[in-house]
Amino acid sequence: MIGTMQREAWVAAVVFLAGCVAPAPPPPVFAPAAPPPASPPAAAEPAPAAPAAPTALYPIEDAIADVLSGPLEYVGAGGGQGVLECVYRNARVLVMDAYCTARAGKAFGVDVLSPTRGRVHIYAEAKQPIRGLAPSAYTSFYVESQLPAIGVAPALSLSLASYDDVAAAFRAHVKQFPPSCVVGTEVTWKQACAKTLDALAPAFFERTVPFVRTPPEAWTKLVNAITDERAKGRIRVTPSNRRALAEKFARTEETSLYSYHLDRIGNTEGFAAPIIATADGGTLLVGTRRGARPVAVRFDERMKVRWEVNLRRKGYDDFEAASAVTVPGGYVVFVPSHVSANRSAVSRLVKLDDNGRPVWEWLGRGTGGVGTPFIDRLQAKPDGTLLLTGHVLVEKGTIYHAWSAEVDPAGKLVHERTGDVLPPAAPR
């Protein structure tokens, strides 16, 4: 997650980037025999000055004041691995909210990014929702101030147009490891500074230690301002944040995703995936809830649930909702289904229309043992024909054969074929 400081990784970076002084112009070459010039030569342009060394770290109070100085404009949302961030800006700073949901959380983390003053990261955690909670009840509270990166591209700028742009600039900044200082609490008192900041450390500690020990009212205003922004529901799905948004939902709703197909997010070349884009900018997620309940969940462009379908089937006692693919008139969902939890899965396809209503269902042969094919790859052709590629155990043992089949747009098996023995590494 960009900008979220893990509690174990709070020690500041130690490399300081200094600007480079441009070389002075070469000395003139004298030629005594030459006549004097008609007019004096133009003065050489002075070499650019090196960036001035910072005289102070970005104070926490100033960072909060900058955030509260004017209305926050929503820039965008993104992230990865189940973590969602939102970016806001006003006339002074960019703000990255590491817990971008409308729900009250027990953790609160923001990065305040000033193009000229650097970065301040604030992280708080408690056993109850942070909003409205007295800071004395926090289990952890950290403040880190980091110098600005010098000469880094892309540079942090208040004019960056999207979450992806801000994230790229932030990564470039962090990659340079500008030195920082940290003050934090967690059972015992902790504070540290990069060695190169010895001259700035006393002033930082003098201002920040009292803040962490007894946060002022401005801190409460910051928490309220950010959580108010979360509740405005301005998040929109984009190709770059679809996975983060869907994984956030899956984590919140305790829904496991079939990791084997996660690298196929989207509808690239018609391949099935646990998270796919819908034609109207929404999202379809396929996963397994607690109690082996396979579900398909359809979201609109704001990640609001339009419908949810339970894909359990009578006669099967275990399921792993795996993936889905877009076809004309709806979606085909791949739901490996177990006759018994201690047996391998039967390949099962269910077509749903755009409202979540079942259209047809296809069951592969077998009951989970010898002769039961399993789909490793599902691809849809433009007309809705499904190309299935997988493996099958032809006889008892561990020798698998390649297997392929084709299912027509109406859910009827057109043909299937058992191929050669697969190498030992396959299938996964």
Distances (CA, A) of 285 to 228, 233, 249: 28, 20, 9
Buried b or exposed e, range 239-248, using 16+ CB within 10 angstroms: ebbbbbbbbb
371: alpha, beta or left, given left = phi > 0 and alpha = psi -120 to 50? left
Angle at 124 between CA 245 and CA 186, to 5 degrees: 130
Return the pLDDT at 44. 52
Identify the residue with better confidence: 285 or 21: 285
Please tell me the total number of residues recorded for the chain in this structure. 428
Residue showing tokens 């409308």: 102
pLDDT tens by residue, 118-143: 999 999 999 999 999 999 999 999 99
Return the pLDDT at 54. 60
Return the pLDDT at 319. 92
Secondary structure (DSSP) of 268-298: GGGB-BSEEE-TTS-EEEEEEETTTEEEEEE
Nearest by Cα to 48 from 15, 25, 16, 17: 25
Q: Would you say 385 and 407 are in contact if contact means Cβ atoms under 8 Å apart?
A: yes
Q: Which residues have C-beta within 8 Å of that of residue 128, sequence separation ≥ 6?
A: 106, 137
Rg (alpha carbons) of the chain, rounded to whole number: 29
Residue 174: pLDDT band (50, 70, 90) is: confident
Identify the residue with better confidence: 248 or 408: 408
Overall average pLDDT of the 285-312 stretch? 93
Say what the pTM is: 0.70
- Cα–Cα distance for residue pair 191/245, rounded to 1 Å: 35
Query: E-strand spans in 300-380?
Result: 305-310, 318-319, 323-327, 330-334, 337-338, 348-353, 358-363, 374-380
- How many CB atoms are closer than 10 A to CB 277? 18
Angle at 267 between CA 238 and CA 274, to 5 degrees: 85
Tokens standing for 113? 């990014």
Give the orientation angle of helix 60-67 with respect to helix 217-230, to 10 degrees.
40
